């Protein structure tokens, strides 16, 4: 062994840093191993919304909430494919994790709000953009607690004693210079290496439609630790459940267009509408992936463009340069620029406008979403495709964050937290639950690993 620690944490995103800080607070000698040259992973670039029941802030606004409601909404939104025990633990302990983050120096903005896809006003945001508020505070805490973070160091193998029956005792790493080293963990190893949205082969293994899609993730989200964990007996759950978001066709990045829903329609390359735009995210994703080119067009008129919020407008305006945003005075001209049949586009818009008049849509849009006709030029189009956003499946864990083996038993000495795990979100993740989950379960994993 090159070096021995009590606890080794793989990955420096939200789950990894919280596990490391929690372990070090329990006096365990702890190290964080990170393959990239920067800490933070996807957590650095997330929207940052943290769902947790918060009686003090919620009561100020007259919002009723409970841990039971948070759990029930999480399970229902995931079509009851989440693990109820895990969801119960996560929702119960999210408020405690929120307070702990405050104690670690994360500054939260006052109040709560409902984030997109969040189902209830229980989201909290830090005072810094994206996930930076969390990462910076926990990085400082690591420094204070003497937890080294080894950058450019990649974990390639987990080492387990005995014939898949003993403890997990260490990891094999590849250093920046390509040197192999073995690091020993006396108490436990926490896998917090994130999801696999940036790995086309792994995506396609579980959902063949997703091979050639872009991703919203950082490039290190390649799911490296899944196979090494399986090699030593770990079980995985829900690997097929991959959440997609509509983004610009060229980069997959957010270009607005999709909200507010009441003033947009989608057409495919034939200029035809194909889905109720107010449907569930996964239903729309399936419809877009089923369209002839997997690229569709969001169409807005001048008032619909003006209805987009500031961030969406900024993103949309930024997409003109790369051709993902298009503007024209007439629908004929717009169709020509998009290279789609003008007659069909005009017919799609006419039929939709008629549906607004009659409050009845052939695609089943809710009458409440039939209030805005597309009639006032200039007209705007966004070229949209689906981008891989969040892999909801991963290593099976129990509520103590222990990794489970294929026989349903915890693997001694091995813990996991964050997007690398499965079982919390089921088929469909609620907005604001990922950030809450990584810190809540990350903390649980670090605490338990340090006591092992
Ligand atoms: P989470 O949200 O679950 O914390 P993140 O994506 O934020 O996940 O963080 C995961 C981190 O793990 C990333 O910084 C990523 O680069 C790192 N990572 C992934 N694979 C490895 C590996 N094989 N060795 C070391 N670090 C890894």
Q: What backbone phi and psi angles, to 5 degrees, belong to 155?
A: -80, 125
Rounded Cα–Cα distance for residues 412 and 160 (Å):
9
Residue 401 pLDDT grade (very low, low, confident, very high; cuts 50, 70, 90):
very high
34, 347, 361: which is closest to 176 by C-alpha? 34
Pocket-testing residue among 9, 193, 437, ligand 1, by greatest number of atoms within 8 A of Cβ:
193
Q: Whose CA is nearest to atom 19 of ligand 1?
A: 193
CA distances from 375 to 91, 126, 151, 298, 360 (A): 46, 41, 54, 15, 18
Shared domain for 353 and 409, answered yes or no, is: no
Alpha-carbon span 65 to 59, nearest angstrom: 9
Does any ligand 1 atom lie closer than 6 A to the CB of residue 443?
A: no
State in Å: Cα 231 to ligand 1 middle.
Answer: 19
Contact 442, 449 (CB under 8 A): no
Task: Tell me which residues are annotated as active site.
Answer: 281
- Tell me, using a 6 A CB cutoff, whether residue 192 lines ligand 1: yes
Report pTM: 0.93
CA distance linking residue 183 with residue 173, whole number of Å: 8
Query: Is the complex ipTM more than 0.90?
Result: yes
* Most ligand 1 atoms within 8 A of CB, residue of 130, 156, 192, 194 to mutate: 194
Per-residue pLDDT tens over the stretch 187-225: 999 999 999 999 999 999 999 999 999 999 999 999 999
Domain boundary among 346, 362, 388: 388
Contact 157, 40 (CB under 8 A): no
Instruction: Quickly state the pLDDT bin for 154 (edges 50, 70, 90).
Output: very high
Question: With contact defined as beta carbons under 8 Å apart, do 231 and 219 qualify?
Answer: no
Q: How far is the CA of 194 from the centre of ligand 1 (A)?
A: 5
Kindly state whether residues 346 and 280 are assigned to the same domain.
Answer: yes
Strands 123-124 and 265-267: unpaired
Q: State CA 249 to chain mean position distance.
A: 19
Last residue of a domain, one of 388, 418, 439: 388
- In short, whether 173's Cβ falls inside 6 Å of ligand 1 is no
CATH number, position 321:
3.90.700.10
Summarised one tens digit per residue, pLDDT across range 418-449 is 999 999 999 999 999 999 999 999 999 999 99
Residues 41 and 89 in one domain: yes
Is the same domain home to 384 and 396? no
Helix (H, G, I), strand (E, B) or coil at 308: coil
> Does 62 share its domain with 195?
yes
Ligand 1 pocket residue status of 10, Cβ below 6 Å: yes
Q: What is the CATH number of the domain that holds 413?
A: 3.50.50.60
Rounded distance from Cα 277 to ligand 1 centre (Å)? 34
Contacts of 306 (CB under 8 A, 6+ apart): none
Q: Of the candidates 367, 388, 409, which is a domain's last residue? A: 388
Taking the C-alpha atoms of residue 243 and residue 182, their distance in angstroms, rounded to an integer, is: 35
Atom of ligand 1 nearest to the CA of 419: 3
Q: Convert 273-295 to b/e letters by CB count within 10 Å (16 or more is b).
A: bbbbbbbebeebbebbbebeebb
The verdict on 92 and 113 lying in the same domain is yes
The phi-psi region of residue 340 (left if phi > 0; otherwise alpha if psi is between -120 and 50; otherwise beta) is: beta
Q: 131 CB under 6 A from ligand 1?
A: no
Domain hosting residue 446, numbered range: 3-200+392-451
For residue 33, what are the β-bridge partners? 10, 150
Burial 409-426 (b: 16+ CB within 10 A, else e): ebbbbbbbbbbbbbbbbb
First-to-last CA distance in the chain? 20
Number of domains in the chain: 2
Average pLDDT, the chain: 96
CA distances from residue 287 to 268, 317, 419 in whole angstroms, order as listed: 10, 26, 26
Cβ(170) to ligand 1 under 6 A? no
pLDDT digits (tens, 9 = 90+) for 21-69: 999 999 999 999 999 999 999 999 998 999 999 999 999 999 999 999 9
DSSP-assigned states of every residue in 260-305: SGGG-EEE-TTS-B-S-TTS-HHHHHHHHHTSTTS-EEEEE-HHHH
């Amino acid at each position: 062994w090159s070096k021995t620690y009590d606890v080794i944490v793989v990955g420096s995103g939200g789950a990894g840093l919280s596990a490391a800080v929690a372990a070090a607070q329990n006096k365990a000698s702890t190290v964080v191993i990170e393959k990239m040259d920067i800490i933070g992973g996807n957590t650095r670039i997330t929207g940052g919304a943290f769902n947790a029941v918060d009686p003090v802030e919620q009561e100020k606004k007259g919002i009723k909430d409970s841990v039971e409601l948070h759990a029930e909404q999480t399970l229902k939104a995931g079509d009851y494919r989440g693990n109820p025990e895990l969801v119960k633990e996560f929702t119960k302990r999210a408020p405690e994790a929120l307070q702990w983050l405050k104690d670690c120096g994360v500054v939260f903005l006052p109040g709560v709000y409902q984030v997109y896809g969040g189902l209830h006003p229980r989201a909290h945001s830090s005072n810094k953009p994206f996930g930076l508020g969390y990462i910076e505070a926990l990085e400082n805490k690591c420094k204070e607690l003497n937890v080294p973070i080894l950058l450019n160091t990649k974990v390639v193998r987990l080492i387990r004693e005995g014939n898949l029956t003993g403890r997990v005792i260490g990891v094999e790493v590849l250093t920046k210079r390509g040197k192999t080293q073995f690091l020993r963990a006396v108490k436990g190893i926490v896998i917090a290496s994130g999801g696999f949205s940036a790995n086309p082969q792994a995506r396609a293994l579980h959902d063949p439609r997703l091979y050639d899609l872009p991703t919203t993730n950082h490039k290190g989200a390649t799911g490296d630790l899944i196979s090494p964990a399986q090699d030593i007996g770990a079980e995985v759950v829900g690997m097929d459940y991959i959440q997609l978001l509509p983004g610009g066709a060229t980069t997959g990045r957010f270009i607005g267009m999709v909200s507010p829903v009441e003033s947009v329609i989608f057409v495919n390359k034939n200029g035809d509408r194909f889905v109720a735009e107010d449907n569930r995210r996964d239903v729309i994703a399936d419809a877009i992936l089923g369209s002839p080119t997997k690229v569709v067009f969001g169409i807005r008129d001048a008032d619909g463009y003006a209805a987009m919020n500031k961030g969406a407008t900024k993103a949309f305006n930024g997409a003109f340069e790369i051709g993902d945003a298009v503007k024209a005075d007439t629908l004929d001209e717009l169709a020509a620029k998009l290279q789609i049949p003008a007659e069909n586009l005009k017919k799609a818009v006419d039929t939709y406008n008629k549906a607004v008049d009659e409050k009845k849509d052939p695609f089943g849009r809710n009458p409440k979403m039939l209030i805005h006709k597309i009639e006032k030029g200039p007209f705007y189009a966004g070229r949209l495709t689906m981008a891989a956003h969040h892999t909801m499946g991963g290593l099976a864990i129990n509520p103590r964050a222990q990794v489970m083996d294929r026989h349903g038993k915890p693997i001694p000495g091995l813990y996991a937290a964050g997007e690398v795990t499965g079982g919390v979100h089921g088929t469909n993740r609620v907005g604001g639950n990922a950030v809450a989950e990584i810190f809540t379960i990350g903390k649980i994993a670090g605490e338990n690993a340090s006591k092992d």
